[in-house]
Structure 1
Amino acid sequence: MSQIFEGYENQYCQLSANLSKKCAAAAVLDGEQKKQKISEIQVGLDEADSLIRKMDLEARGLQPNIKAMLLVKLREYKSDLNNLKSEVKRIASTNLNQAARDELLEAGMADTLTVSANQRDRLLMSTERLNKSSNRVRESRKVMLETEELGVSLLHDLHQQRHSLLHANNTLHGVDDNMSRSKKIITSISRRMDRNKWTIGAIITVLVLAIGAILYFKLSK
């Protein structure tokens, strides 16, 4: 998850809790004190709106799977902010007397705090679920990266083996060519030896005949 988003998220949760306390306090005030407190709350609501927009922009710039989870969080925060705004409008439009303030202190403020606490619990549960989902996404991404690295390593090994096989094939072709040339040379030498044998045989035959003729003429005289 984006650290920038988490920073905005922490700021918003703290601001939302502070605004809820101020709303509860403003509900029991009257006159100028009430107006001043509502003005403070309005400033906080503007700041909360700004944080929501920043979180929205940051979430939309992330990867689709992470963006989807963060947008779910944003819907919760926007709902929380709308509830705060509605509460502020209700407080601003109501002029409570002392009896109403006492009743609010005894019942209304307790209900507001209960609702706010329940909403915070829901937000925390949603945040916890989304964090778990983010962890699963990170683990899946880690497995994918490891698988990709393994695939790259296997392709590299196969490439090296292919290179070795091609080299061995070229070597075998070279040996085959050398053997063919050697065979041709041996055949040529064998033919020459055969021709030399016939030549030597013919020479010996001529010499024998010449010697025989010479002996014949000498003996005949």
Structure 2
Amino acid sequence: MTSIFDGYDEEYRALASDISKKISDVATYEQEPDKKKSSLLHIGDLLKQGNQLIQQMELEARSLDVATRRELSKKVEQYRKSLGSLNEDFKKIREREERDGVFGNRSDPNEDQRNRMELATERMRGSTDKLDAARRTVAETEDVGEYFRLIHTKDAIKYFRSAEYHR
């Protein structure tokens, strides 16, 4: 493995452990709705960080030789499943808390609408993050493709110059 990937690996393990602990701690905040709400928002941010970290791990794995790439891709896939499981746990807790009214008084329609807008905004941010990551990946792929095209062109020029020289 590479030192960069090892760093990502260590960071992911710490992040996943932190997310898991915070999800478990949410149940202890029954009498503190504000603390519960802020904790849930923080967990959502940590899950986004986890997704971004996994994307970075995938990019790093793609830049390595085939054998190492296969090994690291398996590890990344395991991490993706692990994070997916944590994300599902978070969604269940979040939905239950929304039903129970942690995110505002259900009798106040403005508060309810505000909460729905916050959730929609969070989803939009997540989509924007995914689009930005996809754009970066496309740009990186184009750069790599351009690099290999230039190498191929350079080799072709060398070949033709060599062929003319030997005539």
TM-score normalized by structure 1? 0.42
Q: State the match for 1:4 in structure 2.
A: 4
Does the alignment pair 1:33 with 2:35? yes
Which stretches in structure 1 are left out of the alignment for 5+ residues? 98-221
The SS at the match of 1:62 is coil
Q: State the match for 2:149 in structure 1.
A: none
Does the alignment pair 1:73 with 2:98? no
Q: Distance in 2 between matches of 1:84 and 1:11?
A: 16
Greater C-alpha Rg: 1
Q: Distance in 2 between matches of 1:10 and 1:81?
A: 15
Q: Distance in 2 between matches of 1:85 and 1:28?
A: 19
- How many percent of aligned residue pairs carry the same amino acid? 31
Which stretches in structure 2 are left out of the alignment for 5+ residues? 101-167
Q: State the match for 2:21 in structure 1.
A: 21
Structure 1 residue identity aligned to 2:4 = I
Q: Distance in 2 between matches of 1:49 and 1:68?
A: 20
Structure 1 residue identity aligned to 2:50 = A
Structure 2 residue identity aligned to 1:32 = D
Structure 2 residue identity aligned to 1:89 = K
Q: Distance in 2 between matches of 1:46 and 1:92?
A: 15
Task: Kindly state the Cα deviation for residue 34 of structure 1 after the two structures are TM-superposed.
Answer: 1.4
Pairing partner for 2:85 from 83, 86, 91: 83
For 1:147-158, what aligned pairs fall within 5 Å after superposition?
none
The SS at the match of 2:28 is coil
Q: Distance in 2 between matches of 1:70 and 1:28?
A: 37
For 1:90-129, what aligned pairs fall within 5 Å after superposition?
90-95=92-97
The SS at the match of 1:75 is helix
Q: State the match for 1:61 in structure 2.
A: 63
Q: State the match for 2:45 in structure 1.
A: 43
Task: Kindly state the Cα deviation for residue 61 of structure 1 after the two structures are TM-superposed.
Answer: 0.7
Q: How many pairs align?
A: 97
